[in-house]
Structure 1
Amino acid sequence: MAEEPSSRPAPGPRWLSSAQQRAWRAYMDGHQRLMSELNRQLQRDSDLTLPEYRILVLLSESPDLSLRMSDLADGVLSSRSRLTHQIRRMEALGMVRRTSAEEDGRGVRAHLTEEGQRRLHTAAPGHVTAVRRDFVDLLTPEQLTVIGEVFELIDKELNNRQ
């Protein structure tokens, strides 16, 4: 026996209001423009991409200047395969090296090299200047606090869904 169709129509999408749509589009456009500008600045001034810079920063902040590739992928919000390709390119440029994970021998660790440290130290002053000019200094302290709180909430919520 066939099931009778529900008499209740399926709910449609909850369309965005004008204010919500304005905020969403402003975020998308502003974020994309900001990331593109920061990437251009790094490439122009330091011959690094923004993803390379992020990897160098995370490695430099780890106690022994190394991280398991899985932890590094989580830190830069990248798939493991994409990160592996990125690390391979950076390894060819002498910025990182890979070793087997000493803890269990199954994983791989990425290590920051002296060349990677040099490139990071060279790039950091120009990058922080661009971040200040194009983001931090445009906002009030209160706006920065709100942005931090909002994106911590979004990150936590989306991370919990995985």
Structure 2
Amino acid sequence: MAVTIKDVAKLAGVSPSTVSRTCKNHPSISQETKDRVKKAMEELGYEQNNLQQNISMRKIGVVFPKSKTDVYENPFYLEAIKGIGKYCNKKQYTLLVITGETDEELIRSIKASEVDGFIFLYSNIDDLIINYMYEQKLLFVLIGKATKMINDTIYVDNDNVQAAKEACEYLIS
């Protein structure tokens, strides 16, 4: 019977997602853990399925703000997904939409996602999930203004007040 990622994880004393991230040389995995996982792979004779690895490596997670219903009714999110999806399709990436009603649900989904990076469709002050992303050194981009570690965070923002002012000035002139 073929050796599985779960077999490697068990021998190395890590989760299957850690083995997967090790195979991708993910920066959130310490060198010590990578070495332990690679040693377990060698001992078991584990061979990566390169096709599966290439497919799984080509995912972007899109994180919605936590909500029970109202956030999904906002047309901004549909337009954002449409734009992100169009670009990801062109680059042959798959989108993984991450939603939840609580911080815990979102973090659990992020942990299990095995994606290359995340796009957050929101930015909140002192957000538990964003703090988790920093702690785990996971790759992410915010849509909205960064409120923490501004010089170390990649974000895309616009100034709605300025945009409204310029629109009014244009119409009045």
TM-score when normalising by structure 1: 0.25
Greater strand percent: which structure? 2
- Larger of the two Rg values belongs to structure: 1
